[in-house]
Amino acid sequence: MSANSSPTATTPEATTLETEVLIIGGGVTGAGIMRDLALRGIHSLLIDKRDLCAGASGGNHGLLHSGARYVSTDPDAATECRRENSLLKRLAPQCIETAGGLFVAVEGDDPEFAERFPALCQRAGIECEELSPGEARRLEPVLSEKLFKAYRVPDATIDPFHLAMLNVDHARLLNGSIYRPHTEVLGFEIAAGEIRAAICHDHLHQRQLTIRARQFVNAGGAWAMNIARLAACADVHLLYAKGTILVSNDRLAQRVINRLRPPGDGDILVPAGTVSLLGTTSTRVEDLEQVAPTAEEIDRNIREGAVMIPALAGARYIRAFSRVRPLLQTSGTTDRAATRGFALLDHASQGVSNFCTITGGKLTTFRLMAARTADLVARRLGNDQACVTATVPLPDDEASSWADPAAAPKRWHHDRDPDDMILCECEMVPQSAIEQVFANSPGIEKERTIDLIALRTRAGKGPCQGSFCGIRIGSYLYDQGYYRDATGLAHLRDFLDERFKGQRSVIWGPQAAQMELAEALHCGLLGLDTLKDE
């Protein structure tokens, strides 16, 4: 039998895992489903072909919508957002900054739309308070002098990485549910109208993995259509909208600032810790894997954003990224107007009885999406426990709070051991944070890497983008014996290559100087461009 003859071919290294529910996709929705099921006593295994929030969950501006953005285009989504916004502020405050938001209209924007806005908010139950242009500019001095209308709404910001980590950690503590990164589904074993197992590839150990479960959940986000097709389900129809967002070096405003007009390019600036995020262009794409910001998208975001906030034209940007958002396909609408609502498909019509797909939606409504999915899964398992995620607060966990942009500087002022050295000076991440992250990531003893630290802390996210802290963290990991050979340098190179993808499209002004210094250090001195590949 040839090794490739069928996906179920067993090789000596093949391993089989068992669980009640296999959840495919480690975005916030998958993580939310994992916790929701655990709260009902159901064991699950969550896998992601990369790692937590590698798709749209980690590639958005981190806005916890008040709902006001959708009052004109999608009133139902607006109402959903409003409800989830206030629930999450109560239940997961550690992931949220209640920054507040403004909607502002500037010369040239439609005054009629601006006038109608409060009524539309009211219809969706969203608080909306009018401010005089002078008052708005007092609150946010970066706003354009050409401002003529401003409203205050309860927008907030939410850290999706922190959120996903806390959901996963809580599920693990509740009933030992397991999260496995770098595990990709290749196919399903289907018999008598049921999926019996998912055949996966473990990218970390380069081996095949068979995962047996009673229920299978597809929370693949933009990849959901592809995953559904692996189970011969042809009823998932998605549009792919590529969104491009820029990250500025400084926090330009305290509040979320939205352009008061129908959704468009460069119409929102969202604060996140010490930086701001400017978004978002929307472009239809076909390819899910090859998405990078283009110079044209960058320029368009800045040009549009600068109408509302002139300082954006000359601001220093440290990153730009693009992600694909899955939009549910409905006929005859534009991408902007396509529903931001979500869909749960039970696939009963497709001949499989223990598989479902959850897709569409948005970060703000992840809990609701998880609840609906878990309801279906629990029912199918004969479990009659009700969803409790609308009432049980998300427990805190110190280790994952290192992902929170505001946490490290706060801690810096509290307890400071002079021997606990700051490895990432831009974001104040000390050695002890690394040990905490490792201590709280059981089952990954073999993967105590620069990448893990980068994912689970703010390290490398500041102005130097890991140029210096990557080296310091690498040295620390060698010191502690986590690296014993050239692997550490290869990981350092890969980490820098990965950070660069996000920097590449915004390298001008001071960033070009920063990049010259970084390259002189990493390549000119350390020779990371000539490491022998093992």
Partner 1 sequence: MKDTPRHFTTQLAVIGSGIAGFAASIFALNRKIAIAQVGNSGALAYTTGYLDLIGKRNDAVVSDPWQALAKLRESEPKHPLSRVDAGDIQRAFTEFTDFLGACGLAYSAPGAGNITALTPVGTLKQTLCVPATMAAGPRALTANSPCVIVDFKGLKGFSGVELAANLRERWPQLTTQRIGFPGMERGEIYPEVMARALEVATTREQLAEALNAVAGTATVIGVPAILGMHRPDQVRAELKRLTGREIFEIPTMPPSVPGIRLRELFQQVLPQKGVSLIPQQKVTSLSFDGDGATLALRDAFGPIRIHAQAVILATGRFLSGGLDAHPAGIREHLLDLPVTQAADRADWYRARYTDPRGHPINSAGIEVDDSFRPLTREGRRYHERLFSAGVILAHQDWIRGRSGAGIAIATAFKAVTEAERFLAGRQAMFPGAPPVQCH
Binding site for partner 1 (CB under 8 A): 292, 294-295, 298-299, 418-419, 421-423, 468, 471-472, 474-476, 478-479, 481, 483-486, 488-489, 492-493, 496-497, 499-501, 504-505, 507-509, 511-513, 515-517, 519-531
93 vs 248: CA distance, rounded Å: 25
Residue 485 CB, shortest distance to partner 1, in Å, is 6
Q: How far apart are CA 227 and CA 132, in angstroms?
A: 50
The whole-angstrom separation of Cα 233 and Cα 132 is 53
Instruction: Find the distance separating the first CA and the last CA of the chain, reported in whole Å.
Output: 30
Minimum distance, C-beta of residue 497 to partner 1, in the bound complex (Å): 5
**Residue 240 or residue 500: which is nearer to partner 1 going by CB?**
500
Q: Which is nearer to partner 1, 129 or 479 (CB)?
A: 479
HEC assignment per residue over 253-295: CCCEEEECCCCCCCCEEEEECCEEEEEEEEEECCCCCCCCCCH
Q: Distance (Å, rounded) from C-alpha 42 to C-alpha 530? A: 49
- Bond before 280 cis per omega within 30 degrees: yes
Rounded to the nearest whole angstrom, what is the least distance from the CB of residue 343 to partner 1 in the complex? 35
Minimum distance between the CB of residue 496 and partner 1, rounded to whole angstroms? 6
Among 180, 166, 161, which residue's Cα sits nearest to residue 458? Answer: 161
Looking at the DSSP assignment, which residues form a beta bridge with residue 240?
Answer: 326
User: How far is residue 84's CA from residue 354's CA, in Å, rounded to a whole number?
Assistant: 28
Q: Residue 106 corresponds to which tokens in the numbers above?
A: 């500037």
CA distance 341 to 445: 39
Q: Which residue has the tokens 């002079």?
A: 418
Residue nearer to partner 1 on the CB measure, 209 or 453: 453
Contact 416, 460 (CB under 8 A): no
Residue 402 vs 468, nearer CB to partner 1: 468
Rounded least distance, CB 425 to partner 1, Å:
10
Q: Give 445's contacts (C-beta < 8 A, 6+ positions apart).
A: none
By beta-carbon proximity to partner 1, the closer residue of 173 and 295 is 295
Q: Position 406: which residue type?
A: A
Residue with Cβ nearer partner 1 (136 or 464):
464
**Cβ proximity to partner 1, 191 vs 525, nearer residue:** 525
> Which one, 314 or 442, has the nearer CB to partner 1?
314
DSSP 220-235: -GGGHHHHHHHTT---
Residue 481 CB, shortest distance to partner 1, in Å, is 8
* Least separation in angstroms between CB 246 and partner 1: 12
Query: Cβ 408 to partner 1, closest distance in Å?
Result: 16
CA distances from 511 to 318, 437, 508, 514, 529 (A): 7, 30, 5, 5, 20
* Residue with smaller CB distance to partner 1, 323 or 472: 472
User: Nearer Cβ to partner 1, position 12 or 418?
Assistant: 418
Nearer to partner 1, 156 or 471 (CB): 471
Which has the closest alpha carbon to 356: 240, 233, 238?
233
Least Å from the CB of residue 512 to partner 1: 4
CB of 238 to partner 1, least distance (A): 27
Q: How far apart are alpha carbons 400 and 151 in whole angstroms?
A: 35
**What DSSP letter does each residue of 324-385 carry, written as one string?**
EEEEE--TT--TTTS---EEEE--GGGT-SSEEEEEE--GGGHHHHHHHHHHHHHHHHT--P
Q: Cβ 513 to partner 1, closest distance in Å?
A: 4
